[in-house]
């Protein structure tokens, strides 16, 4: 039977061959020997296949090769099979372990079919990806040595393998970062020493540094920075950077700010969010992170996202009153910032029913100038409270003498007109009398 055809289609992001054109299924006996058999059994099987394959090919409908090509053709007929996931025999060996037996099996398979070292499965993973994902340090080291070959071989072979990205743009370095337990960085150190530029890949998307921060492995982040000489990617998904990740994770951003001279603090993701937008909603009590990000770029207070929301709106939307307070203490004028709906942070707090933030605003005498600001529909914060039927929030605003109850929105309604429909009758009557 003829073997499945392999098509090699190198690309800048994936410089090794991907299995295509429906290759044959892995021989069940071979798979069993690879997973649970001994090295000697596997060696005997493969040697036996080399000797027996002539008669098999001779009896098949496939035209038999001649000359020096025959041995390679016969050997391929058993080692070229793949699993349903597209894994070659070498993928299976690399995944299953890194004991001496598995290392010898990997070496044997590579000697008989060197092309498998760079083969990618259906997910775009090479055997190196698989070994790194399973935390098989010795196997990772061996596969790199096999790629290097002789001492005078080109170092580009190793770099090509190390920089190969799977379908989700992860290299073996990404897999190593995810697999290593907290406090360990041996595999990361191995990979980075083989290619100090490896932390710069992929060119866009989730960088190894971003992943390390998101995984809460700051010690790995430091290893990446040191071994790369500071030349590495800071990017993350959706246009984010590692400072976005640090804020989300609650990691101290001090070193990242130092490494980049605060540049990351001004960068926005695909939604227009700066790290300060994230800090406004993510820290909730970790004022140290918020303060560092704010100090790194105070101008971010005045940078809206693509929906027109400023960091103070984000904080109000989740009831992060301490964050709102810090923003206003640092820059009082930010209290009057309006989003795309012309809402202030107070409108947003009322809309999201965040009573603590509304209460803070009502008790802060310096904020009286925003109480009667109207959104694009002409509604003040107290209009919105009445519309929502939020009695506690409505009363909080109603009791503040700076709140005007006679302002009309674009429908010609005052807050009391709306309250008549949505607030309990007895309370409404009391409010009418009090307002007179």
pLDDT in tens, 281-340: 985 557 899 999 999 999 999 999 999 999 999 999 999 999 999 999 999 999 999 999
3-state class of 74 per DSSP? helix
- Extract the tokens encoding 78: 């058993």
Residue 8 has pLDDT above 60, yes or no: no
For residues 267 and 13, which has the higher predicted lDDT (pLDDT)?
Answer: 267
- Determine what percent of the chain is predicted with pLDDT higher than 90: 78
Q: Where in the chain are the domains?
A: 17-162+170-175
Residue 255 has pLDDT above 80, yes or no: yes
> How do residues 162-200 score in pLDDT, each as one tens digit?
999 999 999 999 999 999 998 899 999 999 999 999 999
The model's confidence at residue 407, banded by pLDDT at 50, 70 and 90, is: very high
- Determine what percent of the chain is predicted with pLDDT higher than 70: 84
Packing angle, helices 137-148 and 186-194, rounded to 10: 10
What pLDDT, on the 0 to 100 scale, is given for residue 61?
37
- Extract the tokens encoding 55: 């008669």
What pLDDT, on the 0 to 100 scale, is given for residue 57?
42
Q: How many CA atoms lie within 13 A of 204 on its CB side?
A: 5
Q: Averaged over 420-429, what is the pLDDT?
A: 65
> How do residues 276-296 score in pLDDT, each as one tens digit?
999 999 855 578 999 999 999
Average pLDDT, the chain: 89
Residue 267 has pLDDT above 90, yes or no: yes
Q: Give the whole-angstrom CA distance, residue 295 versus residue 242.
A: 17
The model's confidence at residue 7, banded by pLDDT at 50, 70 and 90, is: very low
What pLDDT, on the 0 to 100 scale, is given for residue 48?
82
Say if CB 120 and CB 14 are below 8 A apart. Answer: yes
Q: Averaged over 231-244, what is the pLDDT?
A: 98
The residue count of the chain comes to 436
Residue 103 has pLDDT above 70, yes or no: yes
What pLDDT, on the 0 to 100 scale, is given for residue 435?
54
pTM for this prediction = 0.85
Give the CATH superfamily of 17-162+170-175. Answer: Ankyrin repeat-containing domain (1.25.40.20)
Q: Give the whole-angstrom CA distance, residue 174 versus residue 206.
A: 9
């Amino acid at each position: 039977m003829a073997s499945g055809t392999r098509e090699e289609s190198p690309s800048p992001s994936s410089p090794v061959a991907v299995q295509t054109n429906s290759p044959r299924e892995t021989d069940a006996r071979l798979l069993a020997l690879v997973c649970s058999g001994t090295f000697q059994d596997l060696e005997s099987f493969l040697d036996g296949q080399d000797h027996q394959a002539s008669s098999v090919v001779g009896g098949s409908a496939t035209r038999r090769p001649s000359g020096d090509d025959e041995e390679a053709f016969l050997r391929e007929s058993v080692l070229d099979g793949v699993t349903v996931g597209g894994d070659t025999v070498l993928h299976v060996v690399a995944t299953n372990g890194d004991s001496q037996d598995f290392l010898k099996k990997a070496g044997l398979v590579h000697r008989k079919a060197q092309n498998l070292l760079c083969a990618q499965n259906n997910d775009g993973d090479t055997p190196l990806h698989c070994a790194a994902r399973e935390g098989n340090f010795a196997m990772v080291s061996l596969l790199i040595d096999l790629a290097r070959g002789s001492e005078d071989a080109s170092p580009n072979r190793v770099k090509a393998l190390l920089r190969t990205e799977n379908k989700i743009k992860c290299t073996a370095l990404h897999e190593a970062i995810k697999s290593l337990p907290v406090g360990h960085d041996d595999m990361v150190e191995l990979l980075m020493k083989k290619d100090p530029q490896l932390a710069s890949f992929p060119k866009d998307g989730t960088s190894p540094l971003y992943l390390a921060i998101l995984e809460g492995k700051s010690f790995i982040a430091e290893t990446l920075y040191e071994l790369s000489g500071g030349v590495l990617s800071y990017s993350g998904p959706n246009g984010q950077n590692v400072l976005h990740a640090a804020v989300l994770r609650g990691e101290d951003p001090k070193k990242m700010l130092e490494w980049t001279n605060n540049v990351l603090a001004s960068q926005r993701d695909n939604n227009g969010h700066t790290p300060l937008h994230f800090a406004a909603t993510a820290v909730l009590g970790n004022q140290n992170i918020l303060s560092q990000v704010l100090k790194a770029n105070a101008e971010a207070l005045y940078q809206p996202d693509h929906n027109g929301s400023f960091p103070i709106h984000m904080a109000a939307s989740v009831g992060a009153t301490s964050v709102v307070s810090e923003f206003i203490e640092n820059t009082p004028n930010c209290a009057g910032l309006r989003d795309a709906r012309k809402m202030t942070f107070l409108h947003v707090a009322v809309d999201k029913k965040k009573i603590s933030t509304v209460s803070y605003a009502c008790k802060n005498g310096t904020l009286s100038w925003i109480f009667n600001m109207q959104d694009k529909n002409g509604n003040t914060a107290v209009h919105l409270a009445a519309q929502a039927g939020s009695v506690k929030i409505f009363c909080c605003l109603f009791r503040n003498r700076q709140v005007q109850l006679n302002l009309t929105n674009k429908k010609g309604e005052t807050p009391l007109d709306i309250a008549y429909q949505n607030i309990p009758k007895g309370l409404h009557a009391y409010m009418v009398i009090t307002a007179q």
